[in-house]
Every structure is written in structure tokens, then in C-alpha cells.
Structure 1
Amino acid sequence: MSGSGVRRGGRAGGVLVAASVLLAAGLSGGCSTSAPSAPDPVDVAADADAYVYGAAPVTLARTRANMTCLLPVNELFNQAQLSGPDSRTVVAPNVDTLYSIAWLDLRAGPVLLTHPDMGERYFGFQFLDMYTNVFANVGTRETGPAAAARLIAPPGWSGQAPPGAAVVESPTWDAWMIGRTLVESEADLPAARAAQQQYSMRVLGPAVAGAPPTLPPNDCGDNPAPQALVASGPEYFDELSAILAANPPPPADRPLLDRIAALGVTAGATPSGGSPETVDALAAGMTRGDRQITAATATGDRVWRSLPDAGRYGTDYLQRAVVARIGLGANVPEESAYAVAREASDGRPLRGERGYRLHFPADGLPPVDRRGFWSVTMYGPDMFLVPNVLGRYAIGDRTPGLTRNPDGSLDVWLAAAEPATGTSNWLPAPEGEFVVMLRSYLPTDPSWTPPEPEPEG
């Protein structure tokens, strides 16, 4: 069901289907027998393609480096509190679930994950390879609530699993596990923690002979920021080359990897030490590639930007880079649907001082399975939570005290100042620009689109 509100210039609102990458580069003009011919357009685009290709794995590797300075690999960490403004490691944290995090290095051998019977509580363990593809989900939707064990195995593993443990093979030697345990209310937090504390993880070993090299050691306290890729200059490509060596990429990536090899971007190489001409090309490619990602992140002529291919990117490296920028760790769409809005129904950027209404008709709330949930979360333009006077960072189907209109519809107010209707349905926004994300866990209607934010002033 489409949302209500004024349409921009008569154009249809709704969810933007992500555009595929279109790179148009090259030299134009005539040539003569005395002048060199123009470079092939694909070769000219290779430096930007290399940057776009690396954006997701480098962002993930940097996130891993920062987190493993505090959390040892192959150990499960359970977050005891819901995320808040101080949660600034991974963009767009949700405030609906307790996170359980583990960074896996499967060179040490397979890892055994177990969980108790979770009853009616939503939970999920999501597994991502080093290229941010989701290769498995364990939990409410995929495997059910009953107590179970899963063995996460390295690529090509052929050992014997413990009795009753199903094997999940990782495509890469390093992997990221994100666990989510739903918190129904503030009063439910202790029970959610108790369930979380029954999760367990351990390495079974032995170490795998002939495994590829590990990722480079961390420089704790001086690791480059995951959200500032361009700032590293051509050394960014050294990071990408290290990832290629530690985690051989999918065979489908070979055509692009063959193209960017001419720039020195190969497994284990240091492209930043190449010829001045090549290094200059890499630097220019970073700028052009980053602009491509920024342009693809925009919503175009739609208010909401969806992530319909999250978790399964194939060779759509631009879409993969976009998700890494605005929602690193996004799950596959049947598990959770995401829609991001940066503009109002009038096409202007969302700003806290203006104020907006999200109007959900009585029969137009986000459609989710009874075991799932939905929420609208407020972020600053950098996709992190911002402190506010209520300490409220999301409104959803579990928010206490929401007021319905007489016809059963629901209005959510997005504004920096308290609306005239009071605080019950107010999601406080920062002054200046902001972003909202609507999450639907266990969505039941992929065609549903959120209502557009309607400006109040």
C-alpha cells in the first residue's frame, strides 16, 4: 500500500529499486596516425571500478580491525544494553535488539554455535563473508526456535561435525556473525539478556593446514576509519589487496579483478608503491568511484531508498558499496526489509527544524509476520544515533503509549521541537538534516512502501 502525502512534481513516490552500475568513461575526439589512439573506455574506468569494488570489503575489514582491538576473534560478545548515541562502530545500529557479535577466523578450525529454545522471542544469527554477502541465517525464520547447534566451517572443509550439529560452510576464511535478540519492552530487557547469555560459541579445531594468510595485524588506536575510505589515499588499495590474499574472492569476480590487476591491485600487492602514473590514477579513481557511490545512495525521484538486494550482491559492486555505506551488515530481504529517507514529500532534505508527519493509515502499517516487528529509527546524516531530550531513538510496534487517530490511523512526528500533539508519538530529530530508516523484520509484503514524510512548515 502506498503512503499518503503530496507527490513531488507529480512523480510517483515509493521505494527506489537500486540502479545497477553504469560507468561511462573515455576520451572523445578524432585521432591521427601521428597521435596515440584513445584508451579503451573500460580501462579508463578501471581505477574507479577498483575503488567501488573494494568499498564493502575494506569497510568491513576496518570495522573488524576496530572491534577486534576489544573483542578477541572466535569469541562471542553479548551486548547487554540496547544501542545508543555512543554506539558508533557500525553505521545505522538498531535499538530494537540486543546484539551478539563474533568475528570468525576459520583458519583455526570450524566454530560451533549453540542456542537454547527461544520460544516466541524473535532472534537471529546472520553470517557474512568478507565481501559482505550473507551466506547463512540461523534463527526464528530460517531454522525455528528449538534449541540447536550449527558448525561454521571454513571453505572446502570435509571433517566430521558433532552429533546433531548442522554444517554451514563459509565462502571466506574470515567471517562476521551478527546475532539479534528482540527486546519487547524495557521490562523485558532482563529476560532478553538471560536468553542471550545461553548462547555459546567455541572453536573445535584443529587449525587448517594450507590456509591463506591472515588479515594484517591491527594498529589499535590508529586504525583507519570505516566511514572515511577516501582519506587513506591509494593505501586503500593496499588494504583491498591484503583482503584478496586472505580471503580469495568469488570466481564471478574474476573479470573485474583481471581488469584492475593492471593497476597493481592483486592479492598481497602494495599498489600504493607503484609507478607515479599508476598511483595518480588510483587517487583519481577513488574520487570518481566515491562520487558514484554517493550518487547511487541518493533516492533520485523517490522519497524512500530501499535495499532490495541486501546481502546478495553477485557482481553488483555498486549496490554492495551503497549498503556498506548506509547499512553495513544489512540482512537479506526476507529476513528484514530496510527503507531509508533523506527527503520529504516536497523533495527537500529532511531537517529537524521543519517537522514532518509520517501518516500510517489504519490498514497501512508495515506488514510483518506475527513473530517479527517494525520500527522507524532516527539518525543524523552520518547514519548514527543522536542524543535527544526523550532518549527515544525509534518508534515502532512495541513503543508504549502511542496514540491512534479516531479512524485507527497512526501519525509519527519527526521534529526537533515537541509537536503540538505532545510527546506520545514524537520521534525527536536533531537540528539540521537527518535520516530515518524503517525496518520490517520478517516482512510479509515486499511490495509495501512507507508513507512519505509530510512537512509541517
Structure 2
Amino acid sequence: MAFGKVPEGIITKDEYDTSIGKLKFHDGLPDEETIQKVYDNLDRSRAMHAFLDMIPMASLEAMRASLVEAGCDACHKAILFESLMDGKSLFLTGNTDTVYVCSILNLERDGPTVIEVPAGAGPGTVNDAYFRFVADMGRPGPDKGAGGKYLIVPPGYDGTVPEGHYVFHSPTYTNFNIIRGFLKDGRPDHAAALWKGGLKIYPLSLVGNQPKMEFFNVSGKVMNTIHSNDFNFFKEINECIQREPIEFLDPELRGNLAAIGIKKGQPFSPDERMTRLLTEGVALGNATARAVSFAPRSAASRLYGEDSEWQTLFEVSDHRWLDDGARTLDARTRFFYIATLNTPAIVLKMVGVGSQYALVFRDEKHQAFDGGKCYSLTLPPNVPAKDFWSVVIYDAQHRSMLQTQQLSPARNSVRHPDIKSNPDGSITLWFSPSAPEGKEANWIQTIPEKTWFAVLRLYGPGEAWFARTWRPGEVREEPEMSRKRKGAPQ
């Protein structure tokens, strides 16, 4: 290369027109206006990526705060949906099909903590403060539904571990524990009694003197477990960063948070400029999360190809969202923006055990659902669900159950035995603001001017589900029914 000659490809031009405006340079040096623009863009971008990266953490923190507010300020205190969850409770895609019992573990305060799971428990999971998998219990766990003692050990613990326990190490102090009980004869009584009579949670240090379990019945209560989608999101994140050990996040993720002012041991007090940019970053992050959640561009999200609107939240067969060693970031964002709980059981093929899910956001003509219209969904005969199936609809705003006069916007094959079948054994469900005449038993209520989406759940999924030899029909708009539905103007 001749002296004084610089390859064209490494030269910075004097001006660039970009999405953040015109950027100007003098012999490679940015002018003052350009410097300000790019730093604003850098901080805004870091805020947006912090939102996308930290949705799991913020979601778990919102869950923790809600349970503590409900009275769960010790590990032996748990909330119980004694008569099931309904639309009054804001839980990301919670359902009306199982009897939830939930608790929060504080391993920094309590040290190693025991969870005694009774025989007959449905799927149970422990997740850490970043909603990462720690342990399964119940049917998908090592006790296989026979019951057993689980010991959740805090980070850095090097003490003795007693025999007779399934031992799991958590990288965080805060852990969320949820176990589901199945309905019996369409009723929740059996499962609620199972938790009250058999579930025990206590610090290992109190063996032989453990406190009696306390259950707070929250069925029908107003609860909000959804993370913020505004500037308060960063306050939720800061709460967690201050509480948890520094090693629980890798340096890259922690570094991005530190760059926007969230650092362990230091106050989070952004100035006016940074507050503005963080607020813009949340707006961009929230918009991005909604795009990847409700209109994913990955073909792997489609259960039956481009012609079908049925989708999965599990685009890779790894609960860590790893694909050939690379994390599928949009898929992780999508999952935790719509749902909760991280367990390998969700992505494993376990015929007759656990549950499988399918989501639908649009009708067969690829149009978003309109709460003022009438739609139908036909499930072919022999739904492959050993235990039961259900369809629940959700509000796209808060991703929790749609709040309607029905309270439980769902139909369930054991809870609603009056569901009518078609002559061929298939079942058609109806979605509209008021019931189409004669379809009341198969009707789920919607709300005019509100969007919604549906989740099909199969409990004890059969081989036909995994082989894709059985598939739900597409959701169809029924314009004639919209005009003729019960109570609608003629």
C-alpha cells in the first residue's frame, strides 16, 4: 500500500443520513451535535435491549411483589386458588383449569428450604429470580407424582445436605414455586384439600419445629402480577439487582444494565435526560415485544405451516432457548411476554404426562380477532388429552384472562360436561359478545372493541398431538351468526 493511501472501506465520510438524523464528521471526528445524537441513541438502545433482556426478571419480580402483598412474607405462606382463578386476577395466560398453589422462597433469609409435595400432585416447578428453571416436582418431577421432599439450596451453600431429599441448587435467593392440582369430577375441592392437608414448606433449619402452613384463598380476588411497561420497569429490575448475588447474571447482561444506571450497591437515580431516554427505550422495547409476540416472523413459531394460524411458544426444543449454541432471543422475549414458568417438561415429548399448548391470534383469513364479531372453532373428534382439554381466551393488553361477565372465559372438557358435540364427535366452540342461540353451552364471551387471543391446552397429551395427526381447526369468522346471535339487533 502506497504511503498516505487509505483503503476506501475504512474511511468515515463527512456526512451520513440516518434514522436518527444527519451525522457529521470532520476528517473522521464527530461534531458536537453528532456526539449528542449517537449517545442519546446508544442510551436509548441500551434501554430497549434491557427491556427485552429483562422481561423474565421483571415478570418474576412482579410476581414476588404481588404474592408478598397478598400475605406471602414467609416460605410457609402460600396463595391458593381454592375455587380456581378467574378474570379478576392478572396472571400471564393463567387458566381456570387447575388449582394453583404459589409461594415465594427467600433463601438468603431462610437458607436451604424444604418443599414437601404430597402424593397426587400435578405438575410443579421452582424458578429462580430470572425465571430460569430450578426444579420440577409432582408428575414431571423425580417423585413422578408419588410425593417427596425437595430441598432448594441457596447460591454458595456448602453445608451438609440430609438424605431423603431431592436436592436442587438455585443461583438466586428469590425463587417462585407453583404447583397445579387437577380437577376431580369437574370440581377443585379435591386438589384444594390436597394442598391444605399435604403441602409443607419450611426452612431446613426448622425441621421438627416448622411453622404450620398458611394458605390465602385468592379466588375471586383482584391481583396484578404483570410487570410494568413504562419507566417503572427499571425500578422493578433495580429491586432485583440490589437483592440478588452479583453472579446470577452474566457480565454482558449486567454490563448493559450498569450502562443505564442499574448497578448493585448503587442508587438508581437517572437524571432528566436519562429518564427521558429510558422511557423512550421502554416504549420501543414494549412495541418490539408485542410485535414478536403477536406477529412472530419465525417460521418455527407455526405449528402447521404458513396456512395455519396455530402457533407454539416453543420454537426450539430447549427450555433455555438454545439452538445450536445460540440463544433465540426473540423466542425468549415472546415466551416471557405472554407466559410464565420455565421447565424442560414443556418442550419434552411426554405422552400422557404434563401439558401441551397451542395459541391462536388470528382467524383463518389472517385477521386479528375483533371482540364485537362472532367466531367458531371446531376441535376434531378424539381430542388427544388423557386428562382433559381446555380453551381459554385472553386480553391482548395484559395477556391475562379476558374480563367478561362470564368471569372464566373458557370451556373445559371436565369442568363443562354440558358441552355439546357435533354428530361426527367433533366439538364447535363459539366466541362472541353474546351467545348464538342454541350454542350457550359451547360459548365463550368476548367484548366489543377489544382484541383477544386463545390458548388450547391438552393435559396428558396423546401421541396424535406430537405426531400432528390431530390438529384443531382454524378459527372462522361467522358473519351471519354475528347478525343473528342472541340479543343482537336484527
Q: Which residue of 1 aligns with 2:429?
A: 412
TM-score normalised over the length of structure 2: 0.73
Deviation per residue, 1:183-233 (Å, 9 max, x gap):
1334x4332222222111111138xxxxxxxxxxxxxxxxx97546243x2
Cα deviation, residue 446, structure 1: 4.5
Q: Distance between the aligned counterparts of 1:35 and 1:434, measured in 2?
A: 48
Alignment of 1:360-399 (within 5 A): 360-362=379-381, 365=383, 367-368=384-385, 370=386, 372-381=387-396, 382-386=398-402, 388=404, 392-398=408-414, 399=416
Q: Which residue of 1 aligns with 2:107?
A: 106
Q: Is the 8 A contact 1:326 1:383 kept in 2?
A: yes
Alignment of 1:43-192 (within 5 A): 45-69=45-69, 70-77=71-78, 78-88=80-90, 90-107=91-108, 108-118=110-120, 123-143=122-142, 144-186=144-186, 188-192=187-191
Q: Would you tell me which structure has more helix in proportion to its own residues?
A: 2
Are 2:335 and 1:333 aligned? no
Q: Which amino acid aligns with 1:139?
A: G
Residues 245 and 428 of structure 1: is their aligned pair in 2 closer, same or farther, counting only changes over 3 Å?
same
Q: Distance between the aligned counterparts of 2:126 and 2:371, measured in 1?
A: 36
Q: Which amino acid aligns with 2:394?
A: Y
Q: Once the two structures are aligned, what percentage of the paired residues are identical?
A: 21
Q: Is the 8 A contact 1:352 1:415 kept in 2?
A: yes
Q: Which amino acid aligns with 1:308?
A: F
Cα deviation, residue 321, structure 1: 3.8
Q: Which residue of 2 aligns with 1:21?
A: none
Aligned length: 405
Are 2:452 and 1:430 aligned? no
Q: Which amino acid aligns with 1:168?
A: F
Cα deviation, residue 289, structure 1: 1.4
Q: Is the 8 A contact 2:373 2:448 kept in 1?
A: no
Q: Is the 8 A contact 1:337 1:441 kept in 2?
A: yes
Q: Distance between the aligned counterparts of 1:250 and 1:421, measured in 2?
A: 59
Q: Distance between the aligned counterparts of 2:285 and 2:67, measured in 1?
A: 27
Q: Which amino acid aligns with 1:436?
A: A
Q: Distance between the aligned counterparts of 2:184 and 2:295, measured in 1?
A: 32
Are 2:255 and 1:255 aligned? no
Residues 414 and 97 of structure 1: is their aligned pair in 2 closer, same or farther, counting only changes over 3 Å?
same
Cα deviation, residue 139, structure 1: 1.1
Q: Distance between the aligned counterparts of 1:25 and 1:257, measured in 2?
A: 28
Which stretch shows the higher mean deviation, 396-405 or 123-132?
A: 396-405
Which stretch shows the higher mean deviation, 128-137 or 423-432?
A: 423-432
Cα deviation, residue 164, structure 1: 1.3
Give the secondary structure class of the aligned counterpart of 2:60. Answer: helix
Q: Which amino acid aligns with 2:432?
A: A
Residues 426 and 350 of structure 1: is their aligned pair in 2 closer, same or farther, counting only changes over 3 Å?
same
Cα deviation, residue 117, structure 1: 2.3
Q: Distance between the aligned counterparts of 2:165 and 2:62, measured in 1?
A: 32
Residues 189 and 55 of structure 1: is their aligned pair in 2 closer, same or farther, counting only changes over 3 Å?
closer
Q: Which residue of 2 aligns with 1:31?
A: 25
Q: Which residue of 2 aligns with 1:7?
A: none
Give the secondary structure class of the aligned counterpart of 2:263. Answer: coil
Deviation per residue, 1:32-88 (Å, 9 max, x gap):
325347759877632211222222212321221122022223124233111122223
Q: Distance between the aligned counterparts of 1:228 and 1:129, measured in 2?
A: 16
Cα deviation, residue 455, structure 1: 0.6
Give the secondary structure class of the aligned counterpart of 1:205. Answer: helix
Are 2:277 and 1:269 aligned? no
Give the secondary structure class of the aligned counterpart of 1:180. Answer: strand
Give the secondary structure class of the aligned counterpart of 1:359. Answer: strand
Q: Is the 8 A contact 1:353 1:417 kept in 2?
A: no
Larger radius of gyration: 2
